Structure 1
């Protein structure tokens, strides 16, 4: 009898503890997930990828976690976000060109309902779902985050935003227009947007008591306009006096030392649009230094804010059960477009609330070290992203892997970790199948993805295929396939198309089959619509002719 009573007491205590824990703790086996995306940041702009910019928090995540050498985005803001949020190729999600409607379902400019968001899928798996930062995949309020599965949202809807409220310049530049849970608001004067995006994210995770959370933290830094706190800019005073030529060499040397770059790999040739640093006058050098000082300060501030976030996770005792992924939406922005795009007008010096300047080719060439070209192209400099994953005691510290992952792989990765089933139907509609592969075995077991799987890109007539070590690239309007062997030539310096017509033919067939099943249209059919007089349909239009809340 005594043994029975003891057993009953033990069971009662165990149940009591279990019930007590269920009121305060999230279900076992359900990790919190944080996806951090930075905007227009080049492959080499984090310290862990070769940069001189001070990113100790990000570098710590990399040292305690995993980096990939090869992770791909879609080369430009809205198409990247469409793929990221839904796990679909961006045409299949409805954002084939940009967040503008070109009159076809694949090019409607907002996420279709057949392509489910992180918010919609993870909410069904018991997650609180949060988004703080940039949306850019649907301007109409019917397609805002709260309507697409996110419990909380703070940020801006369009493609770019000022970082400060610029009340003194209201006659020249509009205020910072934001949305919080479907309510339009303005940024409070004196606040810095990167800080506010983080503060709201922190407030959201504090709401998540006994449920796991998914947080999509979408910073707009270091996307132009170049604006940063004065104290952060001051940290980089004279840091860039060596110029872009020398700095690129320094970054590449660090990448080789870190194992990010293979010393036997080719490096992209010097861009003909990038002038020699020593050819500039003293005043020109001072101006260009200031641009990069502010750009570095913006990246630095992101890192400071991630430190705040991690400190809060630790305070809440959620850090050990939180999985973090950090990526960029595209390569650094090249700058002036040959079609005659004019420089934006500024109402204050570079870095201030009135600044409307940006990085341009000379420094973007450094940011994208060691790759060719910039944002908006499918060369490696346009589509390559740093990738850092961190999960204490689950991801082996200091891991560096090849990877060859893509945005479409993140949704299946998160859903596998969360135990979330991706439904075949949702709200009465048949859903689009997920084309990506889960990265779980790669991240946690070191198992590489299949070497022979093909990845595809198309945007504004620019096309690419990656399969194994081969990459096919075509730039509009030339529409001529170039072929590169990325195993030895990731700098894309030697076109092998004429030497391997059979490979070109095979990869072209793969591309055509993908384009058909993904609803890709020939750009020639769409081009008249985007070249019309309406500047909102033409991202190449002069900035001063376009609404400030909708620039990319």
Structure 2
């Protein structure tokens, strides 16, 4: 048992920290999924393990991310807005401190913040906060997980790729091949074959068990970052088979069913949302059987992820840790409308390999492989049925609209469809509200503050050899666990010129660098259909001034700078 001393209990400001044991903390992040994509948030996709966590914990209805993959990861890990952590865009240096494409040294990760409080730290999955994806020296790994506070790591340094042959697959600090990794062999794999979602879940479960046997007197923090359900649409055949025919009725019917289920669950109301018809130009009308298959595979990817979360939960139960573990599940951005692999015409797999079979120890270097390991060239385009390792296809705008039911826009944007995410919080010993909804507007910057709070940790003012650390931007979510409120000035966003501020129920938002500001009352118009900017010009000016003050202090400006090779690099 890990006991606080009486003095520490008296000094701590958090009522939760008075608990006899410091809790374990597990943050689970999924990839490119919309607000309505899991069962307890409206989906037809079965997610019984996430639903079970929700039924015994809290579901947040107004939790937000940053609208894009690596800015979300930088913000989550640092408790800062992404530009403050150096990742205002992607993994490229655009010549300004907010856009370096590297997690900077003026922030600490959650792992770095919790280790001085006695925590062991583990990560499984997608890192994606450094451009050093193929380092030649140890110095180039300065922003890899083990160099940013994690004791153990298994996953990918890069941001996307094949689920059957991921690039930059890494164990601790060394690249590994999925076919020759002596520490993860087919008999240890959940389905007897390598599939990256399984591999992430299997390692997370392994870390729980090995921690229990090797370091059971310490609490742990674990970050589990799935790549499901990011393109390419890859899934195991037995998972795909469970969803065949489920989407025959089409985009609108599925979206209507989700909307009604969300109403029934109390996640939304008819007074604050609109379930508008999906325009035909967002649908695939000619190659319907092909696009229906894409959604079947997408559903299979989420289904498989939930199975893996179930194995992780079981490992906590087996080691007696489930009651005092804070588990939070959330997503990095909204549904993805990108046209990845959807152009042109594709076709069936060739009858026999047309390329050389790759050696088992081959380290696959590309985000999209040129071929499968068994010698088949990559297939894209309409008619190439998604699922197998030799396909590279996304599910497109029509299904992304379904995923984001009933919100506007998608990944990249900061209208609700791009930034709204489920947040499930489960902690039997620390959350006394079970099966309830929590409507407090909150953001993933709050997860650093929450971890520091429940861990009884001290957030540092200096780190990395005396570097000044920027203060946390977030607020601890612990008060909501008891039904109490959180006070904050505002929540802010910017990505690729898309920008927003939320103050109370008011949200000011613009699409694109030159897009005009729109004003919405989220309490009655969360679908963002009734722009109030012309009716309330003075309020728009006030909110714009607040946003500009944030942009100036948080390294957001200049707005969406373009790549300028060599300029200001360091």
TM range (shorter): 0.7 to 0.9
Asked if 1:220 corresponds to 2:220, the answer is no
Q: Residues 198-213 of structure 1 correspond to what in structure 2 (within 5 A)?
A: 198-208=201-211, 209-213=216-220
Q: 2:460 aligns with which of 423, 430, 452?
A: 423
- CA–CA distance in 1 between the matches of 2:540 and 2:101? 32
Cα shift at 1:523: 2.5
Partner of 2:10: none
Native 8 Å contact 2:63 2:442 kept in 1:
yes
Alignment partner of 1:179 out of 160, 170, 178: 170
Residue aligning to 1:459: 495
Alpha-carbon distance in 1 for matches of 2:59, 2:344: 37
Question: Which range is displaced more, 259-268 or 417-426?
Answer: 259-268
For the residues of structure 2 that align with 1:448 and 1:354, how far apart are their CA atoms?
50
CA contact (8 A) 2:334 2:417 kept: yes
Mapping for residues 509-548 of structure 1, pairs under 5 Å = 509-523=545-559, 526-527=561-562, 529=564
Residue in structure 2 matching 1:107, options 99, 120, 136: 99
| Equivalent residues of 1:245, 1:276 under 8 A apart | no
Residues 1:382 and 2:418 are matched in the alignment: yes
1:355 to 370, 381, 391: 391
**1:492-549 alpha-carbon deviations (Å, 9 max, x no partner):** 111111110011001001001111111111336x13639x9xxxxxxxxxxxxxxxxx
1:95 aligns with 2:87: yes
Query: How far does residue 425 in structure 1 lie from its aligned partner after superposition?
Result: 1.3
Partner of 1:504: 540
Q: What is the Cα deviation at residue 474 of structure 1?
A: 1.3
Q: Does 1:305 align with 2:308?
A: yes
Instruction: Please report the RMSD computed on the Cα atoms of aligned residues, expressed in angstroms.
Output: 2.1
**Which structure has the highest helix share of the two?**
1
Residues 268 and 517 of structure 1, relative CA distance in 2, 3 Å threshold? farther
Map of 1:294-443 to 2, 5 A cutoff? 294-336=297-339, 346=379, 349-395=385-431, 396-426=433-463, 427-442=465-480
Kept in 2, the 8 Å contact 1:269–1:372? The answer is no
Change over 3 Å in CA distance of 1:143–1:528 after alignment to 2? closer
Q: Could you tell me how far apart the structure 2 residues matched to 1:83 and 1:276 are? A: 33
Q: Is the 8 A contact 1:77 1:329 kept in 2?
A: yes
Please give the alpha-carbon distance, in whole angstroms, between the structure 2 residues aligned to 1:287 and 1:201.
Answer: 34
- What is residue 144 of structure 1 aligned with on the other side? 144
CA distance in 2, matches of 1:207, 1:413: 25
Alpha-carbon distance, 1:455 to partner: 0.7
Which piece of structure 1 moves more, 478-487 or 255-264? 478-487
CA displacement at 1:268 relative to structure 2: 5.6
Q: Output the TM-score relative to the length of structure 1.
A: 0.85
Select which of 50, 55, 65 maps to 1:73: 65
Alpha carbons of structure 1 residues 342 and 368: separation in structure 2 relative to 1, 3 Å:
farther
- The change in CA–CA distance for 1:79 and 1:446 in structure 2 (over 3 A counts) is same
Point out 4+ residue stretches in structure 1 off by more than 2 angstroms: 268-277, 340-345, 527-530
Q: What whole-Å deviation, never above 9, does each CA across 1:433-456 have from its counterpart, x for those lacking one?
A: 0011100011x2111223x62111
- CA change 1:497–1:271 in 2 (3 A) is farther
TM-fit CA distance, 1:430: 1.4
Deviations 1:70-111 (A, max 9, x none): 000000001001100000000100101112111222211111
After TM superposition, give the deviation of residue 199 of structure 1 in Å.
1.4
Query: Residue 238 of structure 2 aligns with which residue?
Result: 231
TM-score by length of 2: 0.82
- Inter-partner Cα distance in structure 2 for 1:509 and 1:429: 31
Q: What SS does the corresponding residue of 1:523 show, helix, strand or coil?
A: coil
Distance 1:387 1:37 in 2: 10
5+ long unaligned stretches in structure 1: 1-26, 166-174, 533-552
Contact 1:176 1:187 in 2 (8 A): no
Determine if contact 2:26/2:223 at 8 Å carries over to the other structure. yes
CA spacing shift, 1:517–1:156, aligned 2, 3 Å: same
Q: Match of 2:289?
A: 286
> 5+ residue gaps in structure 2?
1-18, 133-140, 181-192, 347-367, 369-377
- 1:459 is displaced (CA, Å) by 1.2
The answer to whether the aligner puts 1:153 opposite 2:186 as a matched pair is no
Which stretch shifts more, 71-80 or 475-484? 475-484
Moved more, 426-435 or 220-229: 426-435
Separation in structure 1 between the aligned mates of residue 538 and residue 277 of structure 2, nearest angstrom? 31
CA distance in 1, matches of 2:338, 2:69: 15
**Alpha carbons 2:324, 2:429 under 8 Å: kept:** no
Q: Counterpart of 1:103 in 2: which secondary structure?
A: coil
Question: How far apart are 1:470 and its partner, in Å?
Answer: 0.9
Match of 1:10 in 2: none
Q: How many residues align?
A: 488
Asked whether 1:448 is paired with 2:467, we answer no
Decide whether the 8 Å contact of 2:508 with 2:520 is kept in 1.
yes
The whole-number CA distance in structure 1 between the counterparts of 2:551 and 2:499 is 10
